[in-house]
Structure 1
Amino acid sequence: MNLPVGAPGAAVVDLDAITANVRALHERSATAELMAVVKADGYGHGLLPAARAAQAGGATWLGTAQQPEAVALRDAGVAGRIFTWLHVPGNDFGAALTRDIDVGASAPWALDDIVTAARATGRTARVHLKADTGLGRNGAYGQDFLDLVAAARLHEAEGAVRVVGVWSHFAYADEPDHPTVRRQREVFEEAVRAVEAAGCELEVRHLANSAATLTNASVHYDLVRPGIAVYGLTPVPQLGGPEAYGLTPAMTVVARLSLVKRVPAGQGVSYGHAYLTPRETVLGLVPLGYADGIPRNATNVGPVSVQGVPNVVAGRVCMDQFVVDLGPDSTAREGDEVVLFGADPEGPSAQGWADATGTISYEIVTRIGPRVPRVYVGGHA
């Protein structure tokens, strides 16, 4: 790959893969619109490039948890519907309303602040009320949701808000047969009926994340909200890899060897000598570490590929670097590329790193830090 000159490594993002992934997801949810979730800097892939690539694939909505990213999208000229939902008291809702951004409300304080902003700006806020249907996280629960609906209806009469959506989030969508999935669907539909009975005219009802978009057509409703699947990673690895769902991983993380040297048998490697060379061998130094998002607990287990040959991290991952035991017959040289993960089904993957370190692929891609430059291929970066 053509990495930036002098860069220790890079995250190469295939924008055409994002576009194709969105198309594949939309085919599975043809009766619903599609919101591509581009929060957390596009899951580490880059907010604006990911958003534009998703729209090229047919996404009619974009979603960000935090409002500054939604504002950044609009200020960069991104059109279409944008939705943002995770707020704290003191949030400047006026910045969203003046940019024609939909906002979520999960509690009375948020609705009050939205109304205050609507009055100050002269805009009618488009609001999505969130029901906690069983995740126990964001959203109004039980009677609190009904109280939130009643308050929103009063503000609708004033013209300060318009309730355009009801939404929620699954706890076990990645286990489609889990009993909570059906129960949350039932509670969600009860919430929708309550909002409609109150007189709100809804545009969208949305519950399906990536896993539900791929595995549960009964909850697609008017809008689906895939996140990780947009970037080509499976939300249900126990059921199938990306290829099983027509997805292609969009990010490939590559580094360059900065040092290659021969050492004797029994040489301790990296802090604490968590790895001892079993024979005379060649070590390669990879100049990426936990400051760049490489999990520190990948010690002795993180999968990599050097010269197309599978390998793993040797010894403890450091802040800026880790070591690979290349074997006694290695012909590797400084500057050779090391693939940490990517789209090659035969090579190391983000899911492989997740399995090795006890986490999920979402964390692996989102934790790649700003010291690792993003290099975009395809699309209109």
Structure 2
Amino acid sequence: EREVVAYDLSPMLYRWDGMESLASEASRDGKRVKVHLKVDTGMGRLGVPWKEAPQFMERLRQLPSLVVEGVASHLATADEDPEYAREQLQRLLWVVREVSKGQSKPLLHIANSAAVFTLPEAHLDLVRPGIALYGAHPSASFKALHPLPLEPVMTWKSKIADLKEHPPSSSISYGRTFVTSVPSRIAAVPVGYADGYPRCLSNKAQVLVRGRRAPVVGRVTMDWIMVDVTSIPDAEVGDEVILLGGGEGGISAEELSSWAETIPYEILCSAGMRSKRLYKG
């Protein structure tokens, strides 16, 4: 609460004890803090249950050091089931009609990335894009239905640490899940599941080396992946390896997530703290 008041932030609140605590902190500083009320319209996670929100708002307005600037909710299925998303939207609109009787109407927001692009009726006063800010779609299936001109902004890189020539019938990595069928050139790349590169990408994923795709072969280990660069004869130790990103023709979050049988959100959140961050722009 101290930082919220000191920096004039507008928090999203959903518990009464949190609101009372913030109100007390604001009162001590002689300030009025703008807040947004989080309403649960069907996500089942955080928020005041939508049918209880009008009574909750009435109590909230009795705290003179807090000013209700907005009312918000979170969509559960905007990328999968737009009809349920519309039902959630109607619940939020009902709440706002109830709490606005004789009062000024607060700012409304419920749209996430999927709703920004597919549910214009959910745009209301504000929108809250998340994964779209990374230039990714909510899922590979969503991208197939709604291909958007998004520009990926995140790249995850490593380098070739070693190269070996392997004859046919050579097993690669733990468990011998990959065995060469022809003379092969295999690169060792220092990234693994301890860095957030999923083990389930073993024998599935691809990376970019010198602008060309190369398959990840054998099991992803704690600290290493093995990459078959046989088709890239000019690959050398020290070459950059792009795990995610790479521009046109690169490795997208949607593609990685489909190989890993997960969602792009998880891929984008997975890069561990051992990976050096470089922020541009």
Instruction: Provide the TM-score with structure 1 as the length reference.
Output: 0.69
- Report the counterpart of residue 311 of structure 1 in structure 2: 214
Q: Does 2:15 correspond to 1:111?
A: no
Give yes or no for contact 2:140–2:258 (8 Å, CA) kept in 1.
Answer: no
Letter in 2 for 1:129: L
Q: How does 1:7-18 map to 2 (within 5 A)?
A: none
Cα 1:154/1:135, change in 2 over 3 Å = same
Larger Rg: 2
Give yes or no for contact 2:157–2:241 (8 Å, CA) kept in 1.
Answer: yes
Task: Please state how far the C-alpha of 1:343 moved relative to its aligned partner.
Answer: 4.7
Secondary structure class of the residue paired with 1:288? coil
- The superposition leaves residues 63-116 of structure 1 with CA deviations (integer Å, 9 ceiling, x where unpaired) of xxxxxxxxxxxxxxxxxxxxxxxxxxxxxx121111100011112222222222
Q: Does 2:241 correspond to 1:333?
A: no
List runs of 5+ in structure 2 lacking aligned partners.
none
Distance 2:92 2:196 in 1: 37
Task: Please state how far the C-alpha of 1:120 moved relative to its aligned partner.
Answer: 2.7
- The superposition leaves residues 23-82 of structure 1 with CA deviations (integer Å, 9 ceiling, x where unpaired) of xxxxxxxxxxxxxxxxxxxxxxxxxxxxxxxxxxxxxxxxxxxxxxxxxxxxxxxxxxxx
Task: Please state how far the C-alpha of 1:236 moved relative to its aligned partner.
Answer: 5.0
Distance 2:206 2:30 in 1: 55
Secondary structure class of the residue paired with 2:70? strand
Give yes or no for contact 1:233–1:242 (8 Å, CA) kept in 2.
Answer: no
- Report the counterpart of residue 193 of structure 1 in structure 2: 97
Higher relative contact order (CA 8 A, sep 6+): 1
Distance 1:329 1:361 in 2: 28
- Report the counterpart of residue 373 of structure 1 in structure 2: 276
List runs of 5+ in structure 1 lacking aligned partners.
1-92
Letter in 2 for 1:97: V
Cα 1:328/1:311, change in 2 over 3 Å = closer
- Report the counterpart of residue 250 of structure 2 in structure 1: 347
Q: 4+ residue runs of structure 1 moved beyond 4 angstroms?
A: none
- Report the counterpart of residue 222 of structure 1 in structure 2: 125
Structure 1, 252-261 or 320-329: larger mean CA deviation: 320-329
Distance 1:375 1:153 in 2: 44
Structure 1, 280-289 or 264-273: larger mean CA deviation: 264-273
Give yes or no for contact 2:50–2:91 (8 Å, CA) kept in 1.
Answer: no
Instruction: Name the % identity.
Output: 36
Give yes or no for contact 1:313–1:324 (8 Å, CA) kept in 2.
Answer: yes
- Structure 1 counterpart of 2:47, from 130, 139, 155: 139
Letter in 2 for 1:338: V
Cα 1:352/1:329, change in 2 over 3 Å = closer
- The superposition leaves residues 236-263 of structure 1 with CA deviations (integer Å, 9 ceiling, x where unpaired) of 5424379943320001222210000112
Letter in 1 for 2:123: H
Give yes or no for contact 1:163–1:200 (8 Å, CA) kept in 2.
Answer: no
Letter in 1 for 2:253: A
Secondary structure class of the residue paired with 1:238? helix
Cα 1:131/1:328, change in 2 over 3 Å = closer
Letter in 2 for 1:138: L
Distance 1:371 1:149 in 2: 45
Give yes or no for contact 1:107–1:148 (8 Å, CA) kept in 2.
Answer: no
Task: Please state how far the C-alpha of 1:323 moved relative to its aligned partner.
Answer: 0.4
- Report the counterpart of residue 35 of structure 2 in structure 1: 127
